[in-house]
Structure 1
């Protein structure tokens, strides 16, 4: 069963990532084949800087896409070849929580280090981690499982995902401009359609993609500046370390500049428990 699941996931992954690559390259090739500003600049070599700049943005966006796909999002590691299992002892502190139900995040919250047991992996999750049922692993600073990457977005690859969205937004806007200016005007509708059918296909790809990517890059820019994750925004009322705080209180907000700097420049995972403890009165939060 596990082997079949892995083969299925592998097939989906190859299909998704191949589809993205084909769509990106297909639009670019169509703009090079037809009479466009890109063809004039690159193929006819009238403005090579313009054409090479477009190709750079295209290749850069693809590179960021595959970095976001292939970089470990922050899967919780194995210890000595096995998962770090939740201790199974009879202490009053942990046993009471187990009796009340480990599925309840608030009751299962460890009273000492605020690490929540995962019901699937049976490991202690660091704060801001969550189990992804698609990947079947726990992810540090879990944001969401992206179907277009077919991988989780977490602490280690979130910045690459954001850079990919930003570069893809630039590429889509640039491609839309080239497509719009290249459309041919004809007197007859049939002649107009015949002359512009390739551009219409490009528009059918670019316009909905532009709305989706533009919305995502705006939302994830907001998350980056505020020091939040999609999971925390969407499920705040169900997250044990957030739901008893005031709605406008974000314990992980270190200021816009620090949030952006850590998001884009940090290469290591952070100890969110200590950051949380410095900004929250634990007693008032109802955790101890």
Structure 2
């Protein structure tokens, strides 16, 4: 036995099979991805357990399904749609600042190659993406020039009187527009960053916040419907088999806790949508440089309830939306107390 073999750390019998496994599936070599995959499998398993126990124990539900299959078919449809929405949200892009910057550069390259007589508008399309500007501020036509670079676009999103003109990320070296934040889990800057969801293994941002809300809505409805079925079973079979009742009661208590959490989360994100805020902006408002000095009761990016709902629900996922910071005059206007005439004219809408 040589000295090198003595000094070499002992390897577990599992190390060689795991190394071979990681060579076949290199994406799972990252501990974060393995953790995300395990959480996804656990969530799917929890759904299957709740539905499986219900159909396994409740014989009356099977009989009613044979007589009236529509009720059970709708429940199973919601079950499948919820899981599909979960994976669609987890695999969707939240909208990365680096992708938007590349889209701007590609757009500029197309305009440099295109003839001067081209009829394509400057803020129109380039391939599969569309770039749009929120707000209507005089003298701030950011995309009016075909050669508008990413740096100029980001700089013009801040008020001219602001001391902070650009904010460059120290991790990915990308100039961040307002509402963008670097996610350390994804290692990218996310446009309109909301939060990083551990259960989804993905960031929630401008590109998938709508999908995330619909997933919460469907998951809440599924939990509520499952709870009703569990309660119906317990009412009819509470004194038959004690161990089945114990399992159903334990699952029902866990389901009730999850339902309360999901309902509160759904209401919270509904409030964020109506006021055009993000979780990060609401929780860390005092630490965000572009929100300092703005009263807490003022929502600087809100365009009214109807406009906020329209932008959230109807805006295409291929659009990169850049919202400029409001000027001091706009902040003063938003800070003005509501009067009776404002209520009649639907100022908040």
- Please give the range of the TM-score, normalised by the shorter of the 2 chains: 0.7 to 0.9
Alignment partners' CA distance in 2, 1:51 and 1:143: 36
Alignment partners' CA distance in 2, 1:250 and 1:170: 30
Residue 98 of structure 2 contacts residue 174 of structure 2 at CA under 8 Å; is this kept in 1? no
Match of 1:213? 262
**How many pairs align?**
247
User: Per-residue CA shift, 1:43-62, capped at 9, x if unaligned?
Assistant: xx121110011011111111
Shift of 1:75: 1.7
Match of 1:26? 49
Corresponding residue to 1:13 among 30, 33, 36? 36
Residue 197 of structure 2 contacts residue 203 of structure 2 at CA under 8 Å; is this kept in 1? yes
User: Per-residue CA shift, 1:216-275, capped at 9, x if unaligned?
Assistant: 0010010011111000100111111112112211111111111111111212221112x6
Shift of 1:68: 1.2
Shift of 1:112: 8.4
Structure 1 residues 236 and 38, CA gap change in structure 2 (3 angstroms): farther
Residue 326 (structure 2) pairs with residue 276 (structure 1): yes
Higher radius of gyration, 1 or 2:
2
Aligned positions of 1:147-166 closer than 5 A: 147-166=198-217
Residue 36 of structure 1 contacts residue 178 of structure 1 at CA under 8 Å; is this kept in 2? no
Alignment partners' CA distance in 1, 2:214 and 2:64: 27
Structure 1 residues 279 and 14, CA gap change in structure 2 (3 angstroms): farther
Match of 1:71? 92
Residue 274 of structure 2 contacts residue 309 of structure 2 at CA under 8 Å; is this kept in 1? yes
Aligned positions of 1:53-202 closer than 5 A: 53-77=74-98, 114-183=165-234, 184-186=237-239, 193-202=242-251
Alignment root-mean-square deviation, CA: 2.7
| SS of residue in 1 equivalent to 2:269 | helix
User: Per-residue CA shift, 1:23-48, capped at 9, x if unaligned?
Assistant: 11221111111116643343xx1211
Residue 31 of structure 1 contacts residue 39 of structure 1 at CA under 8 Å; is this kept in 2? no
Residue 36 of structure 1 contacts residue 182 of structure 1 at CA under 8 Å; is this kept in 2? no
Shift of 1:277: 4.7
Shift of 1:185: 2.5
Corresponding residue to 2:285 among 236, 251, 255? 236
Alignment partners' CA distance in 2, 1:53 and 1:248: 42
Residue 35 of structure 1 contacts residue 182 of structure 1 at CA under 8 Å; is this kept in 2? yes
User: Per-residue CA shift, 1:70-116, capped at 9, x if unaligned?
Assistant: 11011222567xxxxxxxxxxxxxxxxxxxxxxxxxxxx89588441
Structure 1 residues 146 and 117, CA gap change in structure 2 (3 angstroms): same
Structure 1 residues 256 and 36, CA gap change in structure 2 (3 angstroms): farther
Question: Which consecutive unaligned segments of at least 5 residues does structure 1 have?
Answer: 81-108, 283-288
Alignment partners' CA distance in 1, 2:59 and 2:310: 40
Shift of 1:4: 9.7
Alignment partners' CA distance in 2, 1:46 and 1:114: 67
Structure 1 residues 271 and 113, CA gap change in structure 2 (3 angstroms): farther
Alignment partners' CA distance in 2, 1:241 and 1:227: 15
Question: Which consecutive unaligned segments of at least 5 residues does structure 2 have?
Answer: 1-25, 103-157, 333-349
Alignment partners' CA distance in 2, 1:257 and 1:38: 43
